[in-house]
Amino acid sequence: MTEIKPTNCHFCGYCCAFLATVEDGRVVSLEPDPTRYPYDERILAGCRRWKMNLDVLDGPRRVNYPIKRAGERGSGEWERVSWDEAFDDIAGRLTGLRERYGSGTLASMIGGPHASFWPLHRFMSLFGSPNNMGIGQICWNPRIWMDAITFGWTVEADIRFGLTRALFIWGTNPAQSDNSAFWQTIRAVGASDDMALVCVDPRYTQIAAIADLWLPVKPGTDCTLALAMLNVIVSEGLEDAEFVGQWCHGFDELVEHVRPYTPEYAGAFCGVDPQDIVKVARLFAEGRTALVSGRGIDQVGKSVAPTHRAICCLRAVTGNVDREGSCILAEASDFTSEVDFELSDLLTDEQKELCLNTPFAPLQCFEGYDLVREQTEKLGRRLPMRYMTSASPDLVLKAMETGEPYRVSALIVNATNPLLTYADTNRVYRALMGLELIVVLDYYITPSAAVADYVLPCAGAIERPIFQIHGGVANTGYGGPAAVEPYYERKTDYDIFRELGLRLGQGQHWPDETLADAFATQLAPTGWSWQDYCAIGIYHVPPAPEKHAMLRADGTPQGFATTSGKIELASELLPKLGGQRLPEQGPFMRLCSEGLVARLSERGGHHVEMLTGSRKQPYNASMYLDNPKFRARTPGPVVEMSEAMAENLGFAAGDTVELETDFGKARFTLALAPMRDDVINVDYGWWHPERGVPHAPDFGGIWESNVNTLTSCEMQEQLIGTWAYNAIDCMITKVDDSLTWDTI
Ligand SMILES: Nc1nc2c(c(=O)[nH]1)N[C@H]1C(S)=C(S)[C@@H](COP(=O)(O)OP(=O)(O)OC[C@H]3O[C@@H](n4cnc5c(=O)[nH]c(N)nc54)[C@H](O)[C@@H]3O)O[C@H]1N2
Ligand SMILES: Nc1nc2c(c(=O)[nH]1)N[C@H]1C(S)=C(S)[C@@H](COP(=O)(O)OP(=O)(O)OC[C@H]3O[C@@H](n4cnc5c(=O)[nH]c(N)nc54)[C@H](O)[C@@H]3O)O[C@H]1N2
Ligand code: SF4
Ligand SMILES: [Mo]
């Protein structure tokens, strides 16, 4: 029987709508469905990934049955087991480990937003462990935390032609990381005479190329740049005096604070022309300004919180908060928010205390969460708890390695490939190899799955329903239904955690039998049924501007959900956590000891600044590398530097270079690309999926060109515990060998 079924791609966050032609439970073809979100065929025209869907759905590398380690850890020997056998054994072993070491002994790791993570988090809450590790500290959380602390909730850019006068793209590159709808908007801004486009990025990206002004900041100096822009604004009296007077707390202190940050001082520190700082400051204050920031400034380590705080202040003093055309405070969701679905409130105080971040990251922990929650709840909102309290990888790895403060003995790895994407691969590898139980949920036997005890086969796009929400900080969710039942014996992540949970006595907290039922429960408060939602593919309520001025029942404006009820330029809350009342630039994370620098300098090495992981289409972190068409065009990992830098250091395009820090080494091919002349840009995520099932000792080639062998997860930032993937240093040396990357 042939049927046409609505469904979605999930190779990136757009979750585009498709129609699947299904014959006898198998998808035979897939067509874009412009009648559902994102309603736009141009997105697909610009997308190189979607045609992979059928190959991925039934590809030769997919894991289709639960498998259990049969030899030594990492040996590559596996045996197929039944789901019952896998669930019973895992549940039994987890119970035993919990009895021996306490409930914190189970840790989890997640990666990018590939799936809904609340099923894992619910399982962990009910198991009694607070120890989730995620990417929050280096992606998303810093902005969310600082927005919530400064404005009382998070803000979303509101770019409006005819109203917005300037768009700042700061430390993000949607041309490669989001090359669909948003990149099209930026291109339209670039082409428009009414809206100026400013790009703050050490690299001359596609956005820099179409921008009115490119500020090539030195990595990690953005806090100083923003403070200098504030200096220009307040010394020239360009602030929005009315908004500041009515809605900002601590303006006079801020004025004093930014006095030393002159354009000349910042120009020298940030490596940009002081005149350009003056220009962009004036532009920022001139009219409605929208700003979008990203990973570039989320991953700068020590300065991460102050950088976001300085940007918050910039927005506030220019009146660019909660206003159309600048940024608008997001809405709380009408559907059940993530925090209520993950059941973190069921953790007892004793269990919360086990969390491996307190007191080292006083904000990114349950105590910090509660302090901010007291504020956000003034306007009835709560941040997702698990992301915002996620444990520090540094401390969890230490607990795995040393048993201090207690033994972490078991790990669930859900939708992440930590041997490529977590910092300090050597350390992650050593810690994982010493564990008693590792359970990986993935589509493939990745290098990280290769060291597991169990690999559980997950259902992916097309075979599972999707309700993609933004961590619960917006009133938007999109996606649609599965077109088919999961192929072979695959299960959704939800089914896996539920069935494990049922075996551990969590039954009452998993009332919904399927993921689609759970999504229906989640949507219920909106009044929409699952079918209503699937027909449209999105539940979206646009945020209303000027919420702070809306009147309460007693006739007073509701203001901002902060300690003072105003936007806190000077923070009343952060000093309580040991943080800064006003933002100050921090030092940089250094990965090379003097000894290393001296030793490699003698061999012709150079000590340089590096950025890692700048996004590039068509790949995504460690994924899609086995696509032959992609590899034909982008065959291997590169280190990029400017032509002038290469000439200066005596390198040429195509050279093989070795990068080294105190943590490890990796080799790359040198390529030339326009950027600052004192920075290199290093690819991340590279391994050899095409070589078959990874196993010891090389695990599919993770020791060759994996930039995270160079990085460190040591906590840098004093509030959130952020480590650094940018604004770090390394030694670069030319070597004679060639690399093993080739087209496949
Ligand atoms: N040096 C450096 N390191 C970085 C970064 C950087 O810029 N530089 N960026 C960091 C950031 S921001 C992020 S988000 C991380 C990304 O890191 P990861 O998320 O670990 O990277 P991916 O390669 O996307 O790994 C995703 C894995 O999940 C599997 N997967 C995909 N979808 C699903 C699903 O629905 N269910 C399950 N169970 N599995 C699924 C894929 O097969 C793949 O193996 O990397 C971080 N690491
Ligand atoms: N193709 C592709 N798309 C992706 C992903 C992927 O792996 N591949 N991953 C997804 C994920 S998980 C994420 S988090 C997003 C990230 O998406 P983005 O936030 O857009 O991240 P990048 O594309 O790396 O862009 C970061 C930019 O910041 C610049 N930068 C680095 N350091 C600094 C600095 O110190 N200051 C300033 N001002 N700029 C700096 C870099 O040069 C780079 O151009 O992308 C998502 N989209
Ligand atoms: S990869 Fe992303 S943009 Fe492309 S079709 Fe899939 S969801 Fe849409
Ligand atoms: Mo990310």
| Strand order, beta sheet including 26-32 | 2-8, 17-23, 26-32
Q: 497 and 351, same structural domain?
A: yes
* pLDDT digit string, tens, across residues 22-79: 999 999 999 999 899 888 776 677 788 999 999 999 999 999 999 999 999 999 999 9
Among the bound ligands, name the one nearest to the CA of residue 685: 1
| 96 within domain boundaries | yes
| Single residue among 267, 296, 329 that ends a domain in this structure | 329
Closest atom of ligand 1 to 461 CA is 35
Q: 341 and 317, same structural domain?
A: no
Q: 260 and 303, same structural domain?
A: yes
Q: 88 and 168, same structural domain?
A: no
Among the bound ligands, name the one nearest to the CA of residue 170: 2
Which residue owns the Cα nearest ligand 1 atom 20?
A: 416
Q: How many domains does the chain have?
A: 3
- Residue 331 has what DSSP assignment? P
Q: Ligand 3 mean position to 34 CA, how many Å?
A: 13
Q: 522 and 496, same structural domain?
A: yes
* C-alpha–C-alpha distance, residues 542 and 551, integer Å: 20
Confidence of residue 545 (pLDDT cuts 50, 70, 90): very high
CB atoms within 10 A of CB 738: 11
> What is the model's pLDDT at position 587?
95
Q: 602 and 682, same structural domain?
A: yes
Q: 371 and 293, same structural domain?
A: no
Percent of the chain with pLDDT over 70: 100
> What is the model's pLDDT at position 359?
81
Q: What is the dihedral of CA 51, 52, 57, 58, to 10 degrees?
A: 110
| 569 within domain boundaries | no
| 497 within domain boundaries | yes
Mean pLDDT confidence for 688-709: 96
Q: 168 and 127, same structural domain?
A: no
Q: 128 and 188, same structural domain?
A: no
- Model-wide pTM > 0.95: yes
| 658 within domain boundaries | yes
Ligand 1 proximity of 53 Cβ (cutoff 6 Å): no
Q: Ligand 4 mean position to 294 CA, how many Å?
A: 9
> What is the model's pLDDT at position 46?
76
Ligand 1 proximity of 684 Cβ (cutoff 6 Å): yes
Which residue owns the Cα nearest ligand 3 atom 5?
A: 50
Mean pLDDT confidence for 587-597: 97
> What is the model's pLDDT at position 691?
93
Q: Ligand 1 mean position to 497 CA, how many Å?
A: 20
| 664 within domain boundaries | yes
* C-alpha–C-alpha distance, residues 357 and 364, integer Å: 7
Ligand 3 proximity of 248 Cβ (cutoff 6 Å): no
- The domain of 292 spans 155-329
| Single residue among 279, 302, 329 that ends a domain in this structure | 329
> What is the model's pLDDT at position 180?
85
Mapping DSSP onto H, E and C, the string for 110-142 reads: ECCCCCCCHHHHHHHHHHCCCCEECCHHHCCHH
Mean pLDDT confidence for 288-314: 97
> What is the model's pLDDT at position 438?
99
Q: Ligand 1 mean position to 616 CA, how many Å?
A: 14
Pocket test for ligand 3, best of 7, 16, 177 (most atoms within 8 A of CB): 16
Beta strand 196-200 pairing with 164-170: parallel
Give the helix/strand (H/E) hosting 669.
strand 665-672
The label of the residue with tokens 């670039």 reads: 190
Mean pLDDT confidence for 348-353: 96
162, burial (CB in 10 Å: exposed 0-12, middle 13-18, buried 19+): exposed
Among the bound ligands, name the one nearest to the CA of residue 59: 1
Q: Ligand 2 mean position to 347 CA, how many Å?
A: 34
* pLDDT digit string, tens, across residues 71-100: 999 999 999 999 999 999 999 999 999 999
Q: 467 and 488, same structural domain?
A: yes
What is the domain-level CATH number for residue 727? Answer: 2.40.40.20
> What is the model's pLDDT at position 106?
98
Which residue owns the Cα nearest ligand 3 atom 2?
A: 12
* pLDDT digit string, tens, across residues 375-393: 999 998 999 899 999 999 9
* C-alpha–C-alpha distance, residues 459 and 485, integer Å: 9
* C-alpha–C-alpha distance, residues 152 and 493, integer Å: 33
| 399 within domain boundaries | yes
Confidence of residue 188 (pLDDT cuts 50, 70, 90): very high
* pLDDT digit string, tens, across residues 412-459: 999 999 999 999 999 999 999 999 999 999 999 999 999 999 999 999
**314 CB contacts (<8 Å, ≥6 apart)?**
226, 229, 230, 233, 284, 291, 320
* Residue with more model confidence, 1 or 419: 419
CB atoms within 10 A of CB 242: 9
| Single residue among 294, 313, 329 that ends a domain in this structure | 329
Q: Ligand 2 mean position to 615 CA, how many Å?
A: 5
> What is the model's pLDDT at position 348?
97
7-11, 38-42, 107-111, 622-626: segment of lowest average pLDDT? 38-42
> What is the model's pLDDT at position 471?
76
What is the domain-level CATH number for residue 378? Answer: 3.40.50.740
Q: 207 and 281, same structural domain?
A: yes
Mean pLDDT confidence for 324-330: 97
| 557 within domain boundaries | no
**234 CB contacts (<8 Å, ≥6 apart)?**
254, 255, 258, 317
* pLDDT digit string, tens, across residues 562-579: 999 999 999 999 999 999
Q: 179 and 159, same structural domain?
A: yes
Query: Alpha carbon of 219 to those of 170, 207, 314, 477, 625: distances in Å?
Result: 12, 17, 19, 34, 28
Ligand 1 proximity of 468 Cβ (cutoff 6 Å): no
Q: Ligand 4 mean position to 93 CA, how many Å?
A: 32
> What is the model's pLDDT at position 452?
98
Which residue owns the Cα nearest ligand 2 atom 47?
A: 177
Return mean pLDDT, the chain.
96
> What is the model's pLDDT at position 47?
86
| 36 within domain boundaries | no
